[in-house]
Amino acid sequence: MTEEFDTEIYYDDDADSSHIDDETVAVLGYGSQGHAHAQNLADSGVDVIVGLREDSSSRAAAEDDGLRVATPVEAASEASIVSVLVPDTVQPSVYADIESELDAGDTLQFAHGFNVHYGQIEPADDVDVTMIAPKSPGHLVRRNYQSGEGTPGLLAVYQDATGNAKEQALAYGKAIGCTRAGVVETTFREETETDLFGEQAVLCGGVAELIKAGYETLVDAGYSPEMAYFECLNEMKLIVDLMYEGGLGAMWDSVSDTAEYGGLTRGEVVVDDHARENMQEVLEQVQNGEFAREWVTENQAGRPSYRQRRIAEKNHEIEDVGERLRDLFAWADETETEAESSEN
Ligand code: NAD
Ligand code: MG
Ligand code: MG
Ligand code: MG
Ligand code: MG
């Protein structure tokens, strides 16, 4: 724990492995997070059993990685900790299958709070319900563990039936390498609502619309699509890399004074009070469950609107321009990715 932050941050020394050493963990799903949690837990000496459907294409991968594999029901029946790492949209149906395998005092462990927070999964009162959510995709959770570094993560306790839920979650976080880097305590509500708001308003939705709006503004004014692509999309990475390394300050320091003055005076013209009011509305729909209901209904209906929107996005002119330009230019990134993958 440190005192520099309002939130509590836990490190290896705050976690006691004895809370997980003698447990069996069922890891349901072997995708991005599942493969990383399962292998890190196993390498930390924890007994792991991966739960996958009989016909799952991930079975071979988990077995090749030296892990025991069973069906989700068998795995949950054997385990005292069930880590639910199938996609969020399929978690409710997988949970319905394994629910009866949870004994009093067992733990349901999540990496995202959506289903519990919005009542799509309603765990019995006698189980612990916890979250360790690495703030990285799974391949980095695995790679950082192997290299001796860690991956920062979030910890939350939704239900503490045993009185021991937090200690055990910390031990789980230690076993997958998160407490090496630091684990921040939050709640299921805060993790879920900030995650949804962030990806909708800023990260995925906000950024994609900002890029398309900038691109369209330039192209509609007669500038070339290639120039618009470079200026509004390609350069985004350079700017974000600077922010990632040193916050907004590093970005402002690095761009020209002209860019800094123009950005400081014109940015707020674009993201004005109206945009902020819209953000407020998006946040309210996250908070009052309207977005969650819409998404659950959309999935139940077979994703008709989602499909349509995906197609429309794919057909946006900026995607064609980008594909052509990425073929013509050797992106610095490609060599980086090649170098990274050849390390493994
Ligand atoms: P994923 O889509 O990568 O993998 C899911 C795995 O579940 C599949 O590989 C498969 O093994 C299994 N699966 C798929 N459909 C199934 C079905 N119908 N029945 C049974 N098993 C099925 O999922 P993910 O991205 O690792 O997400 C798992 C959890 O981790 C989610 O709660 C997600 O929100 C959370 N999370 C993900 C990330 C990330 O970067 N990917 C980061 C933090 C938290
Ligand atoms: Mg059990
Ligand atoms: Mg997120
Ligand atoms: Mg998310
Ligand atoms: Mg420029």
ipTM of the complex: 0.95
**What would the mean pLDDT of 165-187 be, rounded to a whole number?**
98
Residues within 6 Å of ligand 1 by CB: 29-34, 52-53, 56, 58, 85-88, 90, 94, 111-112, 133-134, 137-138
Which pLDDT value is given to residue 267? 98
Return the DSSP state at 135. Answer: S
Distance separating alpha carbons of residues 74 and 188, to the nearest angstrom? 27
Helix orientation angle between 188-197 and 273-287, rounded to the nearest 10 degrees: 140
Q: Whose CA is nearest to atom 30 of ligand 1?
A: 111
Mutation choice for ligand 1 from 27, 28, 30, 33, CB with most ligand atoms inside 8 A: 33
Q: Whose CA is nearest to atom 42 of ligand 1?
A: 137
Q: Exposed e or buried b for every residue in 189-198, given b needs 16+ CB within 10 A?
A: eebbbebbbe
Which pLDDT value is given to residue 277? 98
Q: What kind of architecture, by CATH, is found in domain 9-186?
A: 3-Layer(aba) Sandwich (3.40)
**What would the mean pLDDT of 226-246 be, rounded to a whole number?**
97
Distance separating alpha carbons of residues 132 and 164, to the nearest angstrom? 15
Which pLDDT value is given to residue 293? 98
Q: Nearest bound ligand to CA 74?
A: 2
- Helices and strands counted in the chain (H then E): 18, 9
| Higher-pLDDT residue of 336, 115 | 115
Classified as helix, coil or strand, 183 is strand
Which pLDDT value is given to residue 220? 98
Which pLDDT value is given to residue 331? 66
Pure H helices in 108-224: 114-117, 138-146, 165-175, 178-181, 188-197, 205-220
**Segment 99-112, tens digit of pLDDT:** 999 999 999 999 99
Q: Whose CA is nearest to atom 39 of ligand 1?
A: 137
Domain spans of the chain?
Answer: 9-186, 195-343
**Average per-residue pLDDT for the chain:** 94
Q: Whose CA is nearest to atom 2 of ligand 1?
A: 87
Provide the residue count of the chain.
Answer: 344
**Segment 23-82, tens digit of pLDDT:** 999 999 999 999 999 999 999 999 999 999 999 999 999 999 999 999 999 999 999 999
Q: Which of 120, 45, 74 is nearest to 289 (CA)?
A: 120
Asked if the model's pLDDT at residue 343 lies above 70, the reply is: no
Which pLDDT value is given to residue 246? 98
Classified as helix, coil or strand, 231 is helix
Q: Is 231 annotated as a binding residue?
A: yes
Q: Is 30 annotated as a binding residue?
A: yes
Cα 108 to Cα 29, 105, 116: the distances in Å are: 14, 10, 10
3-class SS letters over 236-276 = HHHHHHHHHHHHHHHHHHHCCHHHHHHHHHHHHHHCCHHHH
Active site residue ranges:
112
- Using CB atoms within 10 Å of the CB of residue 329, give its burial: 0 to 12 exposed, 13 to 18 middle, 19+ buried: exposed
Cβ–Cβ < 8 Å for 11, 151: no
Asked if the model's pLDDT at residue 1 lies above 50, the reply is: no
Q: What is the largest CA-CA distance in the chain?
A: 67
pTM metric for this prediction? 0.92
Query: What backbone torsions phi and psi does residue 107 show, to the nearest 5 degrees?
Result: -125, 135
Mutation choice for ligand 1 from 27, 32, 135, CB with most ligand atoms inside 8 A: 32
Q: Is 33 annotated as a binding residue?
A: yes
- Using CB atoms within 10 Å of the CB of residue 153, give its burial: 0 to 12 exposed, 13 to 18 middle, 19+ buried: buried
| Higher-pLDDT residue of 8, 236 | 236
**Segment 185-205, tens digit of pLDDT:** 999 999 999 999 999 999 999
Cβ–Cβ < 8 Å for 37, 27: yes
What atom in ligand 1 is closest to the CA of residue 137? 40
